[in-house]
Structures are given as C-alpha cells and as structure tokens.
Amino acid sequence: MSASTEKKNRQAAREAGTDKKTLALEKEAKERAKSKRRWTAGTVAVVVLIALVLLLNSPLVYKSTAYSVGDRKYSTAETSYYYANQYYTFANNYGSYASMFGLDTSTGIKGLDKQDCAFTEGTWKDYFMDAAKNAMLQSTALNDYAKANGITLDESEIAAVDAAFEGLDEAALANGYGSGDKMLAANYGTGVTKALVRGAYLDNALATKALQAASDALSFTDAELEEAYAAYEGSMDTFTFSYVQVEAHDHDNAEAEATEEDHAEAEKTAEAIRAAYSESEGEDFAARLSEAAAAQGLSAVKTNLSGGNLYFAAEWLKDASRKAGDITVEENGDHFYVVVFLDRSDNHYKTVSVRHILVKAEPDANGAYTDEAKAAAKAKAEEILAEFKAGDKSEESFAALAEQYSEDVGSNTKGGLYEGVTKGTTVREFNDFCFAPHSKGDTGIVYGESATYVGYHVMYYVGESDELYAYSIAGEDLRSDRLNAWLDELTGSYTTSEGFGMKFVG
C-alpha cells in the first residue's frame, strides 16, 4: 500500500470515529462514566446508612409516640424502658432457670424476636411487649384514678423513689459507662435517661398507692367470708396426722422394679402395723403408731399439712366423720401408708403475736445435749426473765433484751417478734404457750427442741389478731378477686394504639 493510500485511510477512519486514538478516548470516557456511577451509587448507600443511624439515634425517633393509652402518649424511649424492664425482671427472678421456659438470656434483649415463647404462640419479644403494654395501661389508669380521687405521693414517698437513684452515676463509671444516662440507654434503649426512669418510678409509686387505696376500701361481711372459706372444700383446712411409709421393693436389688410379691410383702407389713396399733391402748395416738412401726423396724412421722397439699389418704383424711385415733392403710404407687388421724383445724381461730428470747443449750463434742447443758440454758433463760421483771416490764424493754440475748437469727434483730403465728407451725411447747389463754404482757419459759437446736424460749405474749385466721385466708382471696375485677373494669374503659415509634422498640 502506498503512503498516500495509507494517509487517505487514516483520514477516513478519523472521520468515521474508528481510528485507534478515537476508540481509546471513547473507552476511557466510558470507564470514567461507569466509575462515576459506581461512586455515586455507593455514596448514596453510605448517605442512606448514615441517615438511618442518625435517625435511630435522634430525638425524632426516641421522642416519637410508640404507644398511646387514652390521652397518655408513651414515647419510644419510655416504651423501650417498660419493655426492657419486663425482660430484666423475668430474667432476674428466674436466673438460670429461665432456660427451663425456653428463654436464652445470653442473647440479651436484641435476640428475643428470634426465640419462640413457651407461654404464647409468638416470640419472647411478643410476650414481653404485651407485658409492657399492660404495665403502661395499668399505670395510666391508676394514675388517672389517683388524680381524680386526690391521691398523691407525700415527701417521704418521693424521697424513697429518689433514693433508688443515689450512686447511679458512680455505678455507671465503675462499669465503664460515662454516666448513669449512658448506662441506662445502653441497657434499656436509646433515649432512656435517669429523668425518664425516675418518672416511671414515680408513676409506679402513685399507681401502687392508688391500688392500695382501692383495696383498703373493700370490706366483706362475715357471711361472705364464711361462704368463701367453705368454697375451699377443705383444701385450706389443716390436718394433723401421723403416718408410716412402707416401701415395696426388692431387698436384694434396690434398682429393680417392685414385683407383685414385693407389693404383697409391703402390704403385709403395713397391715401388721395397723393391727399392732389397734391392739394397743392410750390417748397418745402418735406414740402408739410409733411403737407399732418400731416393731417392724420403721419410723412414724407426725406432720401438719393443708388439705391442698395432701398427697396420700386425702379423701380419707377429709371425711367429715373422721375422729382422732382413726387408722387406715392407703396404697400409693410402690408405697403403703399407715395413717392415723389426729386433728383437723378449719382455721376458725385468731393468730397471735409474741416476742421471745431463745437460749440454746451447748452440744457436747459428739453433738449430744446433756442434762447439764440443758440445765445451764434454762438457768440463763431464768436470769434473763428475772432481769426483765426487775425493769419496767414493758414490751419495749423485752424487745431490747431479745436483741441483746436471743440466739434466734430469725427474730433477734426485730426484738424477738413473731407476728401472725398460726397453729402447728412451731415446736409444740412454743405453740402451746401461744394458744393458751393469755393477756398482753404475760411471760413464761418453755422448752424447745428441733432438728437445729435444743434450748429454752423466754416468752412475751403480745396479743391476737382482730379476725379469724379462716377469714384472713378467705378475705385475701376475695380481696384479690374483687380488686382484679375492679382493675379490669377500670382499664377496660381505655383505648390503646401503636404509633410510629413502636417499630424501634427493642
């Protein structure tokens, strides 16, 4: 090809836009355009992400309404607090046992929407959210009731709320948070602050006071209480009885299942105990059963159980014709029970309050209590009682002596006081003093012995309750039923709704 021809071809290519230089320039322009589009798209995504982060952490979200109860609007932050509080309360109450209900606490609040709840058809988030909504509904209704009825918190009640926040900032710093507000936000949700939580505490305190006022306003007639107690059909009565447990088992192989022969042998032993008891005499029925059981190498147990907790011989014990000294043999699984009825209380008595000072006898090296040790404890108890009688003989002075001398860790920090003592719940001698006829200020010394101590109680009789114990039991349930019905009616008049902020809770 001649030079002139090649020159003409290059000229034509440039005009057509197909020469190498032009093609290279076009390719470079396309790459730049493509890169610009990618950069623009990436920039938009980043901007959107930044905007979303800013939105989630801005007052626009956590101050927006998430839940409304009547005219009361709960912000996202407030709702987050109520929601998280339900979760933390449940997790703290059950601890490691929460897993028994299928709740995995290792994921924290953020993992609740992925865990199926054992109590509902939804997730654990649904469960705690429903609980939070109910808490906000009740709080609103009770606060409105309080305002309508002039119920307010006094200075001491407000101070008690404020006391709960003392040291919060110090605790936050100790746990690596910049402030109490930051710690609350990290654990309860964005926007949750001390001021917000304090407000929730005050609402709860007022709601509790309003509920107590409504409860105190309830009263019941004796006829209503009698009817309510009768409806328990003996499940609240207290049954005192002695029993011997005879187990059917293979004597050569404890792991083997009991055979018919094993059952027959156990039943024979139980019937032998019944026969020996029936042939003996005396008014101490428990002692007679113990002797009959000992002849078979077994022991008898004396116990008090409510009718609702009877797990063998329940129908027999509840029979209205039952009288002290009656005996039966009852089969229950691989056991036969020889049961002697001693007493039944329908709880139509008044509980009592007493103060006491326990002086324990010192056990010897073998853990036994000698007569000398018991005598020393009794002498010490007598000295304490003499010291009391040498003073002003007031309940306050006895309480002071109890805090000085008593070895009962359950009461020595409160002046030896036990309130609402019921029959059969203390050692026999203590019980006998409590329910013998007394006047306020009566004193005495009684022996006491249990699995944990041997010693003497210096007693001071305080007084008895105003109502029968049976009425107290029935009244508590009646009060609870009436109060729940009242609260359902109160909250039922409110309308509720979810707002934009609800999607950001949890």
Per-residue pLDDT of 372-425, as tens digits, reads: 999 999 999 999 999 999 999 999 999 999 999 999 999 999 999 999 999 988
State the CATH architecture for 238-345: Roll (3.10)
pLDDT at 501: 93
pLDDT at 438: 97
Confidence of residue 30 (pLDDT cuts 50, 70, 90): low
Q: Are 316 and 322 in contact (CB under 8 A)?
A: yes
High-pLDDT (> 70) share of the chain, %: 87
Q: Are 239 and 347 in contact (CB under 8 A)?
A: no
Is the predicted pLDDT of residue 33 greater than 70, yes or no?
A: no
Among candidate residues 132, 200, 146, 201, the one with its CA nearest the CA of residue 490: 146
Cα separations (Å) of 14 from 18, 24, 287, 469? 6, 12, 126, 112
Is the predicted pLDDT of residue 280 greater than 70, yes or no?
A: yes
Per-residue pLDDT of 108-162, as tens digits, reads: 888 899 999 988 889 999 999 999 999 999 999 999 999 999 999 999 999 999 9
Domain ranges of the chain: 3-56, 65-218+497-504, 238-345, 352-465
**pTM summary value:** 0.73
Per-residue pLDDT of 231-271, as tens digits, reads: 999 999 999 999 999 999 876 676 778 899 999 999 999 99
Instruction: Indicate if 352-465 has the same CATH topology as 238-345.
Output: yes
State the CATH architecture for 352-465: Roll (3.10)
Q: Are 97 and 118 in contact (CB under 8 A)?
A: no
Sign of the Cα pseudo-torsion (131, 136, 137, 141, in order): positive
Among candidate residues 310, 342, 331, 304, the one with its CA nearest the CA of residue 233: 310
Cα separations (Å) of 114 from 117, 122, 222, 461, 502? 10, 10, 52, 59, 18
Sign of the Cα pseudo-torsion (273, 277, 278, 280, in order): positive
pLDDT at 60: 65
